[in-house]
Structure 1
Amino acid sequence: MNEICEISGGSSSDRTIDVVHASLVKRRQAERRFRLYGLLSIVAGLCFLVLLFGSIIAKGYTAFQQTSIGLDVYFDPQLIDPDGRRDPSALMEADYDRLLKNALSSMFPDVKERQAKRALYSLLSAGASYDLRDLVLANPELIGKTQKVWISADDDTDMLVKGQLGRGGAEGERRIKDNQIAWIDKLEAEGRIKKSFNTAFFTSGDSREPELAGIWGAVMGSLFTLLVTLSLSLPIGMAAAIYLEEFAPRNRWTDLIEVNINNLAAVPSIVFGLLGLAVFINFFGLPRSSPLVGGLVLTLMTLPVIIIAGRSALKAVPPSVREAALGVGASPMQMVFHHVLPLAVPGMMTGAIIGMARALGESAPLLMIGMVAFIVDVPQSIMEPSTVLPVQIYLWADSPERAFVERTSAAIMVLLVFLIFMNGLAVYIRKRFERRW
């Protein structure tokens, strides 16, 4: 009987071990599948990210170049300065458009019909005459001379030279006609067409003409808006975080404030735009479309993020630091500002920079306060009408011209560079100054 029991017990133990081994195999297989799924998810995400960035770069990198046409311009004194006094006001009012037309007509003397001449003159940018005026104002000695001048091309000419507009298909279905293509080919054969770095894209404001449109006005508007946001949200957010974490009594009122702060961090940004429209513009009468109002709205939006990040940084400081400071006779105020706050500042600054990066990329709340307006002039103060870079991208994306598609992608690239820089700065500050306990 004992032998039978031993045999029976041994077989039961073997069966249990076999079951355990089988379950272990299944668990390991499940873990391997889970790791594989995670790896595939990461690879898929990276592929989509590369596809997105690749599409943006492929559409936008050509915007950093601008096509120019070289013309032999005769600066006719009779058209520019018939009195010969070199008066700047007279030079400002001269007919520079006629000078450009004369230069083109001399290069293509066989173009006689009015419609053909209009097509020929349209090869040049609408702002070409202003470039010529600035050249004469800077160098009045050019009057009476003939000089080769590089003039910005029209957006259709620019797109054709860059290969963004097709030459095939029916002429009526193309933005650029056969005779214009022939003239452009002739200019290229004579070395009168070149592509150079598009400085106007970084130094000009918005324009209805794609070749004249730039991001400088939007960049300045974003800068003024972020300055207002930073000057208000950083001190208020840090002060609120310090008070709530270190000095506020624990009762239902502070619990209610904490809950509301956490809820405000999840409120859609357009709600803050509606609040700014109702309070800052309609009630207080602040100027519409100004960086001041935009900064106030973004301050309300970023304050919860900064407060939450600040409190997290303060919580990360070990209690032993507080106890040691109080143990050697420091007051609660001295303990916070002399010992706890210096250790928490890197984390608080990281949260502030991330909040500013979020504010830089926002457009919905600014649309509600009128910063979607078409602004040509570059703003010089926080009270002047302006727009910001995300809204400028929104405006250009709504334009049908192919050249604006190019500039939309280029502006997205510039915005991404700013966002990557700000997030990289936050990571650097955290790694450089953060202490691990």
Structure 2
Amino acid sequence: MTEAADITPDAARVDRLRAGLKRRYARESRFRLYGLLAIGVAVGFLLLLLGRIIDQGHTAFYAHTVTLPVYMDPARVDRAYPQGTNFEQLVAEQQLVRLGVQDDAQGTLSGEMRGLFSSELKFAAAERVQKQPGLIGQTVMIAAPASDDADLYFKGEISRATPSDQRRLSDQQIAWLDRMKADGHVSAHFNTALFTNGDSTEPELAGVLGAVIGSALMLLVTALIAIPLGVGAALYLEEFAPKNRITDIIEVNINNLAAVPSIIYGLLGLALFINWMHLPRASPLVGGLVLALMALPTIIIATRSSLKAVPPSIREAALAMGASRTQTVFQHTLPLAMP
């Protein structure tokens, strides 16, 4: 009886321990599940965002070109100055004739036809005539981008089913576009102009080249200013500056500046660089200076953390071998702190 009484409390305690372990393992499993669910939700939203961007922006990578035969009427094409010829009106009138449409006295239909072609048409035609004046009096094929509205229609962004008062193309213009496409005058191609053109008031001619170059120049200015200043400040604070109240205040302010919203830096750049220093508003220099101010606290903090990761024995060994403090920092500590 005594042995049975001694075993029973031990067995009950073991059961309680097992139940506690089971509950703990269950909580850990639920925690891992919650973490996986959180990651899955974040990845899902990221994929949704990327999907929306691709769905709405993939059509920018291809465009449509309209190629039409144009008779270079000697009575209307100026041989000496072809740029002064209204090629858009000339092409529109000839295309109406091919479609069997009679324009009115006000030129309303020819105006609608001109709206289907990009303004690049007149420059392409004038360049052809300037290089080959002998084309005057002949019929030549002129290729030009479709206007932004016509391009959107070919891409399916503008539908005929949409009420006419809610779209930018009339039923007549849509019928003309369908006719030109059926006749083989419209072709789709990769939109190289997206990467070779700068900004433009004509959407079909706009590209990202100007923005890419401007961003590259701005980042170059940022790197040239922020990296030397940031690394130099971090070296001084970590290796040379005395540890006193002033350096403590500087460190606290650097940490605080790293958390300042970017809009504050933008307002500072507006007030300091544009309104006071009168730097050009569209210059990459202004953007580079503002980004340099934003990046300085982060660079200083990251550089100081890298310097702290260098073992003190490296510094002590260099100093013991007779190196100066500056030689130790620049020839041993800084190279080892680099990524």
Q: TM-score, normalised by structure 1?
A: 0.73
Deviates more, 1:123-132 or 1:328-337: 123-132
* Structure 2, unaligned runs of 5 or more: none
The one of 156, 160, 170 equivalent to 1:163 is: 156
Deviation at 1:204, TM superposition (A): 2.1
TM alignment of 1:335-354, pairs within 5 A: 335-346=328-339
* Structure 1, unaligned runs of 5 or more: 347-437
Deviation at 1:345, TM superposition (A): 2.1
Partner of 1:300: 293
TM alignment of 1:263-278, pairs within 5 A: 263-278=256-271
Post-superposition Cα deviations, 1:33-54, rounded to whole Å, max 9, x if no partner, equal 1111111111111111111101
Matched, 1:60 2:57: yes
Q: Which amino acid in 2 is paired with 1:151?
A: A
Deviation at 1:191, TM superposition (A): 0.9
Partner of 1:360: none
The one of 307, 311, 327 equivalent to 1:314 is: 307
CA distance in structure 2 between the aligned counterparts of 1:315 and 1:77, rounded to whole angstroms: 80
Are the counterparts in 1 of residues 124 and 143 from structure 2 also a CA contact under 8 Å? no
CA distance in structure 2 between the aligned counterparts of 1:137 and 1:328, rounded to whole angstroms: 77
CA distance in structure 2 between the aligned counterparts of 1:18 and 1:232, rounded to whole angstroms: 67
CA distance in structure 2 between the aligned counterparts of 1:129 and 1:240, rounded to whole angstroms: 57
CA distance in structure 2 between the aligned counterparts of 1:226 and 1:140, rounded to whole angstroms: 46
Q: Which amino acid in 2 is paired with 1:275?
A: L
Q: Which amino acid in 1 is paired with 2:236?
A: Y
Q: Which amino acid in 2 is paired with 1:91?
A: P
Are the counterparts in 1 of residues 164 and 171 from structure 2 also a CA contact under 8 Å? yes
Post-superposition Cα deviations, 1:386-436, rounded to whole Å, max 9, x if no partner, equal xxxxxxxxxxxxxxxxxxxxxxxxxxxxxxxxxxxxxxxxxxxxxxxxxxx
Matched, 1:11 2:4: no
Partner of 1:399: none
Matched, 1:93 2:90: no
Post-superposition Cα deviations, 1:2-49, rounded to whole Å, max 9, x if no partner, equal x53x43332222221111110000010111111111111111111111
The one of 48, 70, 74 equivalent to 1:73 is: 70
The one of 19, 24, 29 equivalent to 2:26 is: 29
Are the counterparts in 2 of residues 111 and 117 from structure 1 also a CA contact under 8 Å? no
Deviation at 1:139, TM superposition (A): 4.5
Partner of 2:317: 324
Are the counterparts in 2 of residues 248 and 254 from structure 1 also a CA contact under 8 Å? yes
Matched, 1:105 2:105: no
CA distance in structure 1 between the aligned counterparts of 2:275 and 2:308, rounded to whole angstroms: 40
CA distance in structure 2 between the aligned counterparts of 1:80 and 1:345, rounded to whole angstroms: 66
Structure 1 pair 318–268 and aligned structure 2 pair: CA distance change class (3 A): same
Partner of 1:283: 276
Percent identity of the aligned residues? 49
Deviation at 1:138, TM superposition (A): 4.6
Deviation at 1:167, TM superposition (A): 1.4
Which one has a bigger Cα radius of gyration? 2
How many residues in Structure 1 have an aligned counterpart in Structure 2?
337
CA distance in structure 1 between the aligned counterparts of 2:134 and 2:226, rounded to whole angstroms: 54
Matched, 1:185 2:159: no
Post-superposition Cα deviations, 1:272-318, rounded to whole Å, max 9, x if no partner, equal 11111222222222222322122111111111111111112212222
Deviation at 1:119, TM superposition (A): 1.7
Are the counterparts in 1 of residues 66 and 186 from structure 2 also a CA contact under 8 Å? yes
Q: Which amino acid in 2 is paired with 1:26?
A: R
Deviation at 1:128, TM superposition (A): 2.3
Are the counterparts in 2 of residues 100 and 129 from structure 1 also a CA contact under 8 Å? no
Structure 1 pair 43–141 and aligned structure 2 pair: CA distance change class (3 A): farther
CA distance in structure 1 between the aligned counterparts of 2:319 and 2:109, rounded to whole angstroms: 88
CA distance in structure 1 between the aligned counterparts of 2:14 and 2:218, rounded to whole angstroms: 69
Q: TM-score, normalised by structure 2?
A: 0.93
Post-superposition Cα deviations, 1:313-372, rounded to whole Å, max 9, x if no partner, equal 2122222222222222221111111111112222xxxxxxxxxxxxxxxxxxxxxxxxxx
Deviation at 1:140, TM superposition (A): 4.4
Are the counterparts in 2 of residues 225 and 294 from structure 1 also a CA contact under 8 Å? yes
Q: Secondary structure at the match of 2:69?
A: strand
